[in-house]
Structure 1
Amino acid sequence: MTDKATQIGTLLAPTVESLGLQLLGIEYLPAPGGAVLRLYLDVPDAEAGARHVTIDDCEAVSREVSARLDVEDPISGNYTLEVSSPGVDRPLFTPAQFARFVGEKAKVGLKLPQEGRRRLTGTIVAVEGERIEFEVDGQPFAVEAGNIDKARLVPDWEALGLAPAGEAKPGKPGRKARTAKPARH
């Protein structure tokens, strides 16, 4: 997170927590004509299996946070507030969040190139302090949390039951292989 996002997160976390939710992270994207302030909400770890963030939760947080931002005014100029659940491609902001998903695949953008890479997709292997270890293309790849610009889990669509029908599998009669059709413009 940027310094501004960290400052805003510190300001807003108590408001979000007062509504029984957790502020997973913030994206602050300044742009000419108006910034975007995106808040990601989650349920506290104790409730993680029992419930999910709802639209009503997002609306309640939006109302309360808007009021807080109006009073504190940490963003100069126009901005758009977006409040969201993490979704299946959950963003990861802190080493603790990476640690929670050891064994899962993540897509990561780096602030500064490392070993010739600015982007990587790999399995989260371990987290030690601020160091996050991945397996990328069968090789270990360690990144300091401070060098991570953006990171998201890569959903396992097949495990979620949302994978598109693919090639016919041996022992699965009746499934036809799909062929790609050229796009028409």
Structure 2
Amino acid sequence: MDVHEVLEKTVSGLGYELVDVERSPRGRVLRVFIDKPDKPRGVDVEDCALVSNQLSRVLMVENFDYDQLEVSSPGIDRPLKKEADFERFAGSEITVKLRLPVNGQRNFKGVLQGVREGKVRLQIDSGEVVFDLMSVDKARLVPNFDRAKSTDRLV
């Protein structure tokens, strides 16, 4: 198994979602971002410590070479990576950078309408734009501090 498979299996086995994995340029630092969708305030320090301890043991047993492991929340500007992310956060404001331009534009900001059959729908000021999920280079939630105050939830 590769490191991503081991991380996914371990994190999901603990009841968390693996959001993203980053490696430093020389591969010595392994950053793991986790979430717990059913937890209203998102992951906290105790969640990160639990996952970090378990991952440390598993990575040692599996003989993966790294110097430092960092486990954290994806933050209030959470990246959207998987199709399930685009479904889960429908109705949220997001920013998107595409690999190739649509109508001469690569960067968009708008309200995510969802994804269907691999096509992402985004409501922007000038109307709706539709693009292939596979053409997304980066997508992130736009923090909404007004909503965070009213619902006591950051994401």
Q: TM-score range by the shorter chain?
A: 0.7 to 0.9
1:158 partnered with 2:152:
no
TM-score by length of 2: 0.78
Which stretches in structure 1 are left out of the alignment for 5+ residues? 1-6, 163-185
Closer, same or farther: CA 14–29 of 1 in aligned 2, 3 Å: closer
| Structure 1 counterpart of 2:33, one-letter code | Y
Which stretches in structure 2 are left out of the alignment for 5+ residues? 151-155
**Corresponding residue of 1:22:** 17
Q: Distance in 2 between matches of 1:73 and 1:109?
A: 36
Closer, same or farther: CA 112–27 of 1 in aligned 2, 3 Å: farther
Deviation at 1:100, TM superposition (A): 1.3
**Corresponding residue of 2:153:** none
**Corresponding residue of 1:172:** none
- 1:28 and 1:35 in contact (8 A); partners too: no
TM-score by length of 1: 0.67
> Over alpha carbons, which structure has the higher Rg?
1
Deviation at 1:21, TM superposition (A): 2.0
Name the SS of the counterpart of 1:159 in structure 2.
Answer: helix
> Which runs of structure 1 show a deviation greater than 6 angstroms over 4 or more consecutive aligned residues?
none
Q: Distance in 1 between matches of 2:84 and 2:70?
A: 24
Q: Distance in 2 between matches of 1:113 and 1:28?
A: 26
Deviation at 1:133, TM superposition (A): 0.8
- 1:9 and 1:26 in contact (8 A); partners too: no
**Corresponding residue of 1:56:** 46
Name the % identity.
36
Larger RCO of the pair (alpha carbons < 8 Å, separation 6+): 2
Deviation at 1:132, TM superposition (A): 0.8
